[in-house]
Structure 1
Amino acid sequence: MLNKTMASPSTPSIKPAAPARGARETRSGYAKGEGTRRAILAAALAEFGEHGFANATTRRIAQAAGVTLPSLAYYFGNKEGVYLACATEIVDRYVRQMATISAVDLTGALARADSAACRDHLKQLLRHLVQLLAGSDDALTWTTFVARELREQGPAFTILYERLWEPGARLLARLIAGVRGATTVRDADTIDALLLISSLVAFYTGRVVSLRTLGWDKIGDNELEALFAAADRLADGVSGGADS
């Protein structure tokens, strides 16, 4: 524990030096620039989700973000640039959401085909996906973007497939194989992984129908806990189902 030394009343207090003006301006400029960039991305996700890549306009994006067209061009270049940035932002959100899962523990569980450990990781992963897809206030905006990209396969399809959909499905399949005591992924494991993912899709691409069917006005804390419990049941249900 650190001891505190008390200065005598006659000792003048020494205030920490204030940051140089240039440093303050640099930080302020960065924060403002990042805020502008975020505003453009938010507006673009909504615009592309509603209208698709072909029918969206950078003018409407700029207006919704409260910026000028030159500002949008400064940060993203053109319409395709901001569209691809939207896809990258979605992948980054997924990565941030999954960051709490220990890669070391996960790798070890997969290597050992430790059924209990793989089931625990499968539950963690499904809960994170539920949180990502249904638990955030702006989830509907960016999941609409993803749903349209799935249907139309625009310029961002490759980014989303190679960095999000394919590795996510492969990881789920490996965990399902591990729950079943296998280190080799079979087609049945991959099919079950895809079915698990599609079961969660109902709460973003089909959110309106799902909420109305359940009689929910929104997905709040209690509703989210119910979805977590459902995700756990899905994970518990994959023990069998693959031919040995």
Structure 2
Amino acid sequence: MNTAKRLRRSPEGGYARGDETRHRIIEAAVQLFGEHGFEGASTRDIAARAGVNAPALQYYFENKEGVYRACVEALADDAWKTFGPVVEHAQKVLHENADTAALIDAFIRIQEAIADSAFAKANNPGRGLFFAREQAGYEPESATQILSARLREPLNEVSAALVARISGRAADDPVTLIRAFSLLGQLVIFHVAHRSTLTALGWKSIDAEKAEQIKSTIREQTRMLLEQWSRERDAGHTPAAQSTGRGKSRKPQ
């Protein structure tokens, strides 16, 4: 957002009122972009849902793409409150060359943060649809660039580094990446196929008790896999260790 535009607000309480109005516009826009997509959501409809007049959007965001970018920035800020602490913890564990148990625990913390985020989106359909449309590549590329730089890349990099250290493979080994993505992806099905999974389980919704059942089941199978890969590492049974020695000579960063 243009700083000069923010300075146009009245200094006598204008900032507080302006921030509240800006927040209302962003919340309304997230819902409408989620429901109708970038092309289908009009600035007039966004303004109406936010309870402001249409020129207010231009005042705060210049144009519809500016509104969309502000939505992505706000969602990234909000998501980092969940993911930031677990990413930073994992980085600390890796930096300190912690033992396998601590590495596994750090990975599971990331996995459960993703689960909490997915279940929160399920309870906020507009946000869930917003991310689903962006992930499918239907929306402005700027959204993907922001979310990749601020969320996906840090999560993917530290998750791969944990799996690499646990398994004895390199962090950029395709097997390491596939393993990391597949472990994290166990939870995605409950978000992207929300209705189908509820039907299959005979559930009407995922409340706190059911969410914990999902998380505990996935936590157990994730721990089993990570522990198995660590045993293979210790026994020197990884393909990389057998064929090239890469699993032993290259320490994942």
TM-score range, shorter chain: 0.7 to 0.9
Find the partner of 1:223 among 205, 210, 213.
Answer: 210
- 2: CA distance between counterparts of 1:27 and 1:124? 45
- 1: CA distance between counterparts of 2:155 and 2:30? 22
Aligned equivalent of 1:151? 136
Does structure 1 residue 239 correspond to structure 2 residue 239?
Answer: no
- 1: CA distance between counterparts of 2:165 and 2:12? 48
- 1: CA distance between counterparts of 2:102 and 2:124? 29
Aligned equivalent of 1:11? none
- 1: CA distance between counterparts of 2:64 and 2:40? 11
Q: Is the partner of 1:119 in helix, strand or coil?
A: helix
Aligned equivalent of 2:250? none
Aligned pairs for 1:82-93 within 5 A = 82-93=67-78
AA in 2 matched with 1:110: L
Q: Which runs of 5+ in 2 are unaligned?
A: 1-9, 230-237, 242-253
Q: Is the partner of 1:239 in helix, strand or coil?
A: helix
- 2: CA distance between counterparts of 1:163 and 1:94? 10
Find the partner of 2:160 among 158, 170, 173.
Answer: 173
Find the partner of 1:110 among 73, 84, 94.
Answer: 94
TM-score between both structures, scaled by the size of structure 2: 0.76
AA in 1 matched with 2:187: L
Q: CA deviation at 1:113?
A: 5.8
Q: Is the partner of 1:68 in helix, strand or coil?
A: coil
Aligned equivalent of 2:60? 75
- 1: CA distance between counterparts of 2:99 and 2:154? 21
Aligned pairs for 1:165-204 within 5 A = 165-181=152-168, 184-204=171-191
Specify whether residues 230 and 68 from structure 1 end up closer, same or farther in structure 2 by C-alpha distance, changes over 3 A only.
farther
- 2: CA distance between counterparts of 1:75 and 1:127? 36
- Whether contact under 8 Å (2:122, 2:194) holds in the other structure is no
Give the fraction of aligned pairs with identical amino acids, expressed as a percent. Answer: 32
Specify whether residues 130 and 59 from structure 1 end up closer, same or farther in structure 2 by C-alpha distance, changes over 3 A only.
same
TM-score between both structures, scaled by the size of structure 1: 0.79
Q: Is the partner of 1:39 in helix, strand or coil?
A: helix
- 2: CA distance between counterparts of 1:27 and 1:143? 37
Specify whether residues 64 and 214 from structure 1 end up closer, same or farther in structure 2 by C-alpha distance, changes over 3 A only.
same
- 2: CA distance between counterparts of 1:168 and 1:153? 23
The aligned length equals 219
Aligned equivalent of 1:45? 30
Aligned equivalent of 2:6? none
Q: Which runs of 5+ in 1 are unaligned?
A: 1-24
Please say which structure displays the higher CA radius of gyration: 1
